[in-house]
């Protein structure tokens, strides 16, 4: 709709001191001619926009002008207030107070009929991102990393890697990702993109050095690529194992292990002369295989590989020693 596009032009010019008509056209996915017509319409409506000619010219909004958000539609207002109900996100980022203040200012500018509907929806929606029976993740490093991302500053991490133990790394922070209740840092280490689980970051030191951010960086695209790489097969931290399962527990075992298997893998029944069915399980992560299979108790026996059996035996002995 044209009204939405006109508001987008105002908001873009509020964030950028000057944009060419070509830049605006690309961002809005319209023609340059359409942008120029929209600029004329805004000017005729009293919005202080103007075009500067010349090599360094462009479309400009008079400094200090702010759009009137009272023009929000009911659905737009409800969407904003529903999102603000995810208070734990703002709290983890260290922005809870700021969010409440901002939403209070926004609410004061809305017509009364929009305020009541938006507030009612916000109070009726509860977002609980915690997994069942899972311990809460430690997100203590999140506020410092948020500031580093915004300020584009390099950081030094003390990171407890699941595969390599405690490490110290200096990285260029690119963005933060919240995925099903867990936060991740997307950053570059020696020029290569990596993901770091927030709960494994034990210490953050924000440096004075400017972070290296590629031109046109798309954090979402980088995250999708990193996630896709992780989900492709087992990778270096995965393991394929064969287990024998008590006949009464086959369906339960297949259901429980399914989320931990490599992408596209299934708990495949393989032929055997045993009274207990045999399953081939292709786990993404070796540690998940150990924990899951040990937790299934005597109803499941791991037949191989031998090094996985040895690792599970060591873990079991440690648990017996702890609880004896």
Whole-angstrom distance, CA of residue 98 vs CA of residue 103: 9
Residue 169: the pLDDT is 92
Mean pLDDT of 157-182: 86
Window from 127-131, 146-150, 168-172, 252-256 with minimum mean pLDDT: 127-131
Q: Given a cut of 70, is residue 66 above it in pLDDT? A: no
Q: Which fold has domain 142-231?
A: SH3 type barrels. (2.30.30)
- Residue 85's pLDDT band (boundaries 50, 70, 90)? low
Q: Is the pLDDT reported for residue 19 higher than 80?
A: yes
Beta bridge mates, 188: 172, 193
Which of 316 and 76 is assigned the larger pLDDT?
316
CATH 3.30.70 domain span(s) along the chain: 239-323
For 278, residues 6+ apart whose C-beta sits below 8 A from its C-beta are: 242, 243, 244, 245, 269, 270, 271, 272, 303
CA dist., res. 258 & res. 252, Å (int):
10
Residues 266-292 have a mean pLDDT of 89
Classify burial at 301, counting beta carbons within 10 Å of its beta carbon; exposed 0-12, middle 13-18, buried 19 or more.
Answer: middle
Angstrom distances, CA of residue 214 to CA of 34, 195, 207, 209, 221: 31, 17, 19, 16, 13
Which residues of the chain does CATH 1.10.10.10 include?
A: 2-61
Q: Which of 173, 166, 169, 121 is nearest to 144 (CA)?
A: 173
Mean pLDDT of 50-58: 74
pTM greater than 0.85 (yes/no): no
For residue 141, give the nearest of 95, 208, 199 by alpha carbon.
199
Cα→Cα distances 197→22, 122, 132, 139, Å? 40, 30, 19, 9
Residue 3: pLDDT band (50, 70, 90) is low
Assess contact for 134 and 193: CB atoms under 8 A.
no
What is the CATH topology of the domain spanning 2-61? Arc Repressor Mutant, subunit A (1.10.10)
Asked whether the beta carbons of 174 and 149 are under 8 A apart, the reply is yes
- Identify the band that residue 46 occupies on the pLDDT scale cut at 50, 70 and 90: confident
Which CATH number describes the domain made up of 239-323? 3.30.70
User: Residues 123-148: what's their mean pLDDT?
Assistant: 77
Mean pLDDT of the region 78-92:
64
Tens digits of residue pLDDT in 177-201: 888 778 899 999 988 899 999 989 9
What's the whole-number mean pLDDT along residues 191-212?
A: 92
Neighbours of 307 (CB within 10 A): 10
Q: Which of 291, 235, 287 shows the shortest CA–CA distance to 262?
A: 235
Do 240 and 280 contact (CB within 8 A), yes or no? yes
* pLDDT of 81 above 70: no
Residue tagged 């207030």 (tokens): 81
Q: Yes or no: say if 171 and 154 are a contact pair by the CB < 8 Å rule.
A: yes
What pLDDT shows up at residue 33? 86
Per-range mean pLDDT, top range of 94-98, 182-186, 227-231, 232-236: 182-186
Residue carrying structure tokens 């194992």: 241
Residue 98 structure tokens: 């700021």
DSSP string, 38-74: HHHHHHHTT--EEEE-STT-EEEE-TT----GGG--H
Confidence of residue 68 (pLDDT cuts 50, 70, 90): low
Q: Where in the chain is the domain with CATH 2.30.30?
A: 142-231
- Mean pLDDT confidence for 164-175: 89
Q: At what angle do helices 21-28 and 2-15 cross, to 10 degrees?
A: 130
Residue 309 CB coordination number (10 Å): 15
């Amino acid at each position: 709709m044209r009204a939405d596009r006109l508001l987008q032009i105002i908001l873009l010019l509020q964030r950028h001191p000057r944009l060419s008509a070509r830049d605006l056209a690309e961002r809005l996915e319209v023609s340059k001619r359409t942008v120029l017509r929209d600029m004329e319409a805004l000017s005729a409506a009293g919005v202080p926009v103007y075009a500067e000619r010349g090599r360094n010219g462009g479309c400009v909004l008079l400094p200090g002008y702010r759009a009137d958000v009272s023009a929000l539609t009911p659905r737009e207002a409800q969407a904003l207030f529903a999102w603000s109900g995810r208070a734990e996100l703002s709290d983890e980022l260290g922005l809870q107070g700021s969010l409440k203040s901002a939403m209070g200012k926004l609410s004061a500018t809305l017509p009364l009929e929009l305020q009541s509907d938006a507030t009612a929806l916000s109070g009726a929606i509860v977002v609980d991102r915690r997994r069942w029976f899972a311990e809460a993740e430690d997100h203590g490093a999140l506020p410092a990393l948020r500031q580093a991302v915004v300020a584009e500053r390099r950081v030094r991490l003390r990171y407890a890697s699941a595969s390599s133990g405690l490490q110290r790394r200096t990285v260029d922070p690119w963005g933060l990702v919240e995925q099903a209740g867990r936060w991740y840092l997307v950053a570059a280490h020696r020029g290569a993109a990596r993901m770091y689980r927030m709960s494994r970051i034990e210490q953050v030191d924000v440096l004075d050095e400017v972070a290296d951010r590629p031109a046109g960086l798309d954090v979402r695209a980088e995250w999708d690529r990193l996630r896709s790489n992780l989900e492709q097969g087992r990778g270096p931290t995965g393991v394929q194992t064969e287990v024998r399962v008590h006949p009464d527990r086959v369906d339960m075992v297949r259901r429980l292990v399914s989320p931990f298997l490599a992408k596209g893998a299934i708990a495949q029944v393989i032929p055997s002369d045993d009274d207990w069915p045999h399953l081939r399980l292709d786990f993404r992560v070796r540690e998940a295989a150990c924990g899951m299979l040990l937790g299934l108790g005597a109803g499941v026996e791991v037949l191989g590989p031998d090094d996985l059996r040895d690792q599970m035996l060591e873990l079991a002995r440690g648990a017996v020693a702890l609880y004896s």
